[in-house]
Amino acid sequence: MQKGYLVLENGTVFTGELLGYRGEAQAGELVFNTGMNGYQEAMTDPSYAGQILVFTYPSIGNYGFGDYGFESEKPHLQGLVVKEKADLNGHYQSRWNFEEFMEKYSLNCLAGIDTRKLTRILRVEGTMGAVITHQPEPLDELLKKAAAGRALIETDLVSRVSCKETAVYGEGKTRIVLWDFGSKKHIIAALTRRKCQVIAVPASTEAESIMALEPDGVVLTNGPGNPEIYTGLIREIKKIIGRVPLLGICMGHQLLALASGASTFKMKFGHRGANHTVKDLRNGKCFITSQNHSFAIEPASLEGTGLAASFTNLNDSTIEGLYHHSQPAFSVQFHPEAAPGPQDTEFIFDEFIHMTAKFSPGPGL
């Protein structure tokens, strides 16, 4: 067993077993996920780029890892922290056990620590920088690295995880452009199941290039980092509001709000897991949702934007959905393609496709 350490920005040090380590300390923003399953989907979710992920569920890896669990081509995490690594490989389609998966993707993991205690620190003090390393000294240098890890969320992580070239998925009469800021594969799958042709384009694509593809609708996807730093992207999104139906998911929800003139704020420890309850303000129905985000919409900033809340979080009252009063655009903070029910909020995609069918562009558009 190789001994390892997790050094938090506040000076707290946890000791455990290192897996997948390649001899270089890895820093990132330390966040926790409360899901009881779906660990491979979480580990390969591009929205975790720049972060060290802590699983609160005590045993991770008990049904193995396989081709069925990828949300992107590989993990984009800075590191992983678990209480217990399971040596089981229980899924009939599993190809790798826990340690094999860590080794395959050179993913720094610290196992065998008290994740309950660690999560309580993050809930009280908020997310912070941390570093996974094979030696706990010199502490001053490690604390500087931890602080630098927290700052990663303020850098351009979208360019790291967005697709590099245009790709087409599925066939159908409804053409959807997926503006990829770090999209999960199951968003594409949810659309192709509904007989859509999905054209995924890089985050750097300009608005006029997207409109030249003659889409019936545009999806603004999830992605990592602070949405407010993507000023160029916000400017391009603003150019297509009202010209084509828009659906924003997770970061796409935040970017739609920013492009409409609203603002966002960083949450104390965010929402990450498959057990977040939201209320549909249109009909009073409640849903359990999957979420992964650090930022939320500032409610007071919606005034004058044309946007209004459509969903709210029943735990902390944050905005979980928006709709535009006069333009064909709406968004959700949660992930409708990852509903833990397992369908629950997939109707969001049906509402979007219905919107594309009804939309008629105005003169000159």
**Catalytic positions, written as ranges:** 250, 335, 337
Residue 22 vs residues 19, 109, 131: alpha-carbon distances, Å? 9, 11, 14
Query: What's the token pair of residue 336?
Result: 């409708």
- String of DSSP letters for 151-189: HGGGS--HHHHS-SS-EEE---SEEEEEEESS--HHHHH
SS3 281: coil
Q: Which helix (H) or strand (E) holds 156?
A: none
Cis peptide upstream of residue 342 (ω within 30 degrees of 0): yes
Cα diameter, the chain: 69
Q: How many residues does this entry show for the chain?
A: 365
Residue 216 vs residues 45, 199, 243, 328, 358: alpha-carbon distances, Å? 27, 11, 10, 11, 10
**Beta strand 2-8 with 128-133: parallel, antiparallel or unpaired?**
antiparallel
Nearest to 16 by CA among 94, 111, 128: 111
Q: Which helix (H) or strand (E) holds 351?
A: helix 347-358
What values do phi and psi take at 47, rounded to 5?
Answer: -65, -15
Please report, as a single letter, which amino acid is at residue 185: K
Secondary structure (H, E, C), 192-253: HCCCEEEEEEECCCCHHHHHHCCCCEEEECCCCCCHHHCHHHHHHHHHHECCECEEEECHHH
Place of tokens 């990592």: 224
Yes or no: say if 337 and 190 are a contact pair by the CB < 8 Å rule. yes
Please give the angle made by the CA atoms of 283, 288 and 291, to the nearest 5 degrees. Answer: 115
Query: What's the token pair of residue 234?
Result: 């916000």
**Beta strand 84-85 with 2-8: parallel, antiparallel or unpaired?**
unpaired
